[in-house]
Amino acid sequence: MSVSEQVAVRRLRQRLGLGPRPGEPDAAFAPTLDALLGAAPDTAPTPAFPEVADPATNDSAAKNNSATKNDTAAKKAARQQRAEQARQLTVWWLDRMATTTAPFPERLTWFWHGHFATSVQKVRSAALMAGQNATQRRLGGGDFRALAAAMIVDPAMLIWLDGRGSSVGKPNENLAREYMELFTLGVGHYSEDDVRQAARALTGWTVNADGTATFRPPRHDPGPETVLGDTAPFDAPGLADLLTGRPESAAFLAGRVWARFVSDTPPDPATLDGLVAAYGPQRNVTALVRAAVSAPAFTDPASVLVREPVLWLVGALRALGLPASRVPAAALRSGIRGLGQEPFAPPSVGGWPAGTPWLTTAAALERLRLAEALAAAGDLSPVADQPQAQRVDAAAALLGVTWTGRTAAALRPLAARPPQLVAAALASPENTVSA
C-alpha cells in the first residue's frame, strides 16, 4: 500500500469508522469504503428507562413544614434519578461506539445527534432521548426525507422545541423556525411569514405520559397554509416532504456533511453540484457521504479536521480495547464535561461547534487528564510488549497516526513507562486532529 493510499485509509477509518481497534492494521481496511458504508447497524437493544415524574405539589400539605421538606427531598431524588439515567445512557452509547464492528452507522448517528441537537436537560427523559437515538440510527443512512419526517414529530424534539403544546389559534413558532434554519434549509432560505405558516402546519401534536407522540386533529389548524410559495393544507409529514424536497435543502445538507467529514473549507461549486447529484431525488444520505469522501479534496493534505472530543474519546477507547463502562465513572464524567461535549446534552439547538474551538490550552489539559485515566484502565500490550526502542512507533501504529519528528522526540523519554507514553500519545497533536 502506497503512502497516499495509507493516508486515505487512515482518514476513512478515522472519519467514517471511529478509529482502529487493536489488531486492525491499515492493510485490513483495503476495501474500506464499501466495507464501511455497507455496514448495517448492529442489533444491540436500546436501553429502557422508567419515566421519572416529579412529585405533585400538594398545596394543603405544603402549609406543613414537614410535608414541604419531604416534597423537596422527593424532587431532589427525582432529579438525581434523571441525572443517573442520563449518565447511564451516555455510557451505553460510548460503549456501543467503542466496541461495535459496524462503526459507520454509529458515526452517522453521532452526526445526526449534532444535526438534530436535542438536550436531555430540557427533555428530562433518558427514555425519550434513547428513542430519538434509535430512530436516528435506524433511518440515518437512507432517505433524509424519512429521517426528517420522523424528527419533526419525535417526542424528545417536540418537548425540546416546544412543539407539544402548539394548537390551532396558538401555534408555537420555535420548532418551525429551527426545523427550517438548522435542520433542512439553512439561513436565508425562508421568510418570517414562512415560519408563521409552517408553525400552523405543525399544530396538533402532544406527548403522552408514556412518552409517545400523538396527533390530535381537533388541536390542528386545518389550513391551508402557504409555505415557500406552495399552498396546501399542510401537516407535519407534508411540511417535512416540502422542505426536504427543496433544492436549498440538498445543498444545505451536502454542506453539513462536507464540513463534518471532509473539510472546514466549503466545497467548490462543481464539487457541490456533484454531491447534490449523488444525493439525488431519493435524498440518499449514504450516497452523499460516499460522494463526499470520494472527492479529491478528501485526500488533500490540507484536509485536516479537528476531532470532536467525543470522537477523540471513542477513538481512544477503541484503540485501547476499553469499553467506557470500565473507565472509573468519576474520571469519565469529569473528562467529558471538562472537554465540553457531553452526549445528549448539546449547548443549544445549534449543536456543538467544529474546528478550532476545541483546540484551547484548557482542552489540551483535559485531554491529557482523561488520557491518563484511559491508559491506566486500557490494554497497553500492543505498546508495552514491544522492545523499548520500538514503543514510540508502536504507539503510532496503535492510534493509526504518523508522528512528526518533534512529537516523536517528545515521546521517546516516556518509552520506559508505557502508561505515560500512551497517555501522551493520546493527547498528542497528531491524535487530536484527523489528518
Q: How far apart are CA 132 and CA 417, in angstroms?
A: 43
DSSP state of 30: T
Quote the pLDDT of residue 42: 81
What cell numbers appear for 52 in the block?
421519572
Average pLDDT value for the chain = 92
Which of 265-273's residues contact partners 24+ apart within 8 Å by CB, and which partners? Answer: 265/297, 265/302, 267/295, 267/297, 271/295, 271/297
Q: What is the length of the chain?
A: 435
**DSSP, residue by residue, 240-284:** HHHHHTSHHHHHHHHHHHHHHHT-SSPPPHHHHHHHHHHHTTTTB
Greatest mean pLDDT among 12-16, 53-57, 211-215: 211-215
For residue 434, how many C-alpha atoms fall within 13 Å in the half-sphere facing its CB? 32
Question: Pick the residue with more confidence: 29 or 163?
Answer: 163
Give the pLDDT mean for 351-356.
92
Q: How far apart are CA 215 and CA 153, in angstroms?
A: 9
What cell numbers appear for 195 in the block?
415560519
Residue 25 in this model has a pLDDT that exceeds 90? no
Q: What percent of the chain has a predicted confidence (pLDDT) above 70?
A: 93
Quote the pLDDT of residue 135: 97
Residue 56 in this model has a pLDDT that exceeds 70? no
| Region of 246 on the Ramachandran plot (φ > 0 left; ψ -120 to 50 alpha; else beta) | beta
DSSP state of 162: T
Helix, strand or coil for residue 46? coil
State the helix-helix crossing angle for 418-426 and 391-399, rounded to 10 degrees.
Answer: 40
Q: Cα-flanking dihedrals φ and ψ of residue 214, to 5°?
A: -130, 135
> The dihedral of CA 105, 107, 112, 117: what is its sign?
positive
* Whether 225 contacts 198, CB under 8 Å: yes
H or E element in which residue 158 lies: helix 155-160
Task: Choose the weakest-confidence range: 69-78, 85-94, 226-235.
Answer: 69-78
Q: Cα-flanking dihedrals φ and ψ of residue 126, to 5°?
A: -65, -30
What cell numbers appear for 400 in the block?
493509526
pTM comes to: 0.94
Give ∠ CA 61-66-69 in degrees, rounded to 5: 95
* CB neighbourhood size of 60 (10 A): 7
> Which residue matches cell numbers 491506566?
376
What cell numbers appear for 161 in the block?
422545541
> The dihedral of CA 68, 74, 75, 76: what is its sign?
positive
DSSP state of 416: T
For residue 254, how many C-alpha atoms fall within 13 Å in the half-sphere facing its CB? 29
Residue 140 in this model has a pLDDT that exceeds 70? yes
H or E element in which residue 434 lies: strand 433-434
State the helix-helix crossing angle for 309-319 and 103-115, rounded to 10 degrees.
Answer: 160
Contacts with 172 (C-beta within 8 Å, 6 or more apart), sequence order: 162, 163, 165, 166, 199
Give the pLDDT mean for 37-62.
77
Give the pLDDT mean for 119-135.
97
Composition of the chain by helix, strand, coil, percent to 5: 60, 5, 35
**DSSP, residue by residue, 317-330:** HHHTT--GGGS-HH
Residue 18 in this model has a pLDDT that exceeds 80? yes
Burial (CB count <10 Å: 0-12, 13-18, 19+), residue 289:
buried
Q: How far apart are CA 90 and CA 94, in angstroms?
A: 6
Q: Cα-flanking dihedrals φ and ψ of residue 205, to 5°?
A: -95, 140
Distances (CA, A) of 191 to 148, 180, 225, 343, 354: 20, 10, 14, 32, 27
Q: What is the pLDDT of residues 219-249, one digit of tens each?
A: 999 999 999 999 999 999 999 999 999 999 9
Work out the pLDDT band at 24, boundaries 50, 70, 90: low
Quote the pLDDT of residue 27: 47
Contacts with 345 (C-beta within 8 Å, 6 or more apart), sequence order: 86, 119, 120, 121
Task: Choose the weakest-confidence range: 4-18, 286-300, 359-373.
Answer: 4-18
